[in-house]
Amino acid sequence: MLSNTRFVVAATALAPLLWGTTYITSTTLLVPGHPLFTATVRALPAGLVLLAIGRRMPRGSWWWRAAVLGGLNIAGFFAFLFIAADRLPGGVAAVVGGVQPLLVAALASRMLSERLTDRVVAAGIGGVVGVALIVLRSAGGLDAIGIAAALLGAVSMALGVVLTKKWSSDLPPLVVTAWQLVAGGVILACLTAVVEPLPTEAFTLTNVIGYAYLTLIGTALAYVLWFRGVTRLPTRIPAFLGLLSPVVALALGGFVSHEFLTLTQAAGVAVVFLSVVTVIGGPISERARSAKPCQPTGRTGG
């Protein structure tokens, strides 16, 4: 049981690691100045691919649930994400989302009756502090609209994650992911048609590779792993794993620009890792201890 839990945690962690590459991909490989179009191209094809694999359409209440979750986890989050990435220096859009784990933990305590312990609160505050230390270096170039978009994206996905846990525990993660991506992609396509002009220049091979990577790897694969973790783990664990995304974004941004971390940023990264380990280490070790007395009864965990 403990080994399986660690595997699920590790697989879930791969999702934010992949998301951390979104910012460098969008700024170096994609057509600039079209955030909603990019979000649409990322979400809708990925959802259709997963839908073709899962071959299962929504039924009953899942028609409106898929629309709600798609609006929160995909349409709202993607739109705010790419707007923020367009208006903020590299990596900053990701690190502002450091408030999300604390939001998820707070919402889960109210909507899912998950315990909001002092450990989780302290780790959440630590995550915010770590993110602030990372952002501090680029404070002079921050844009108010970009910051607002990044924060709204964090709120949107935090609520979406908790509702996904609440509604979809008995459904395959691939199917739930497909429905959300299709619903969110349709919403984004409508927004793009109304708000944003389509790119006029022809796509280069670099653009095609960038969009394909975001669609198949950064979205389809990453979201299946993510929602699998959301349904199988306490919601706070995937949420705190999400803090790994800005660290990857920061590292890639520094690599491309040939810049080194300042001491302040290094301290921020250390605090972020400490926050993640604090939340993940506690539940895993607790499960290991609690599993031993249960073995004679034949009961399974969870």
pLDDT in tens, 56-94: 999 999 999 999 999 999 999 888 877 776 777 655 666
| Cβ atoms within 10 Å of 229's Cβ, excluding its own | 25
**261 has a pLDDT exceeding 60:** yes
**Mean pLDDT score, 251-261:** 77
Query: Comparing C-alpha atoms, which of 147, 145, 114, 83 is closest to residue 240?
Result: 114
Average pLDDT of the segment spanning 21-47: 89
pLDDT reading at 216 higher than 60: yes
pLDDT of residue 133: 81
The first and second tokens of residue 251, run together, are 């590292």
Q: Provide the H-helix boundaries in the chain.
A: 2-19, 22-28, 35-54, 62-69, 77-87, 92-95, 100-111, 118-135, 144-167, 173-195, 205-215, 222-232, 236-241, 244-257, 263-294
274: exposed, middle or buried (C-beta count within 10 Å: 0-12, 13-18, 19+)?
Answer: middle
DSSP string, 178-208: HHHHHHHHHHHHHHHHHHSPPP-SPPPHHHH
How many Cβ atoms sit within 10 Å of the Cβ of residue 3?
Answer: 8
Stretch 270-288: mean pLDDT:
75
Show the tokens assigned to 154. 């964090």
pLDDT in tens, 182-198: 999 999 999 999 988 88
**Distance (Å, whole) CA 11 – CA 4:** 11
Percent of the chain residues past pLDDT 90, beyond the cut: 50
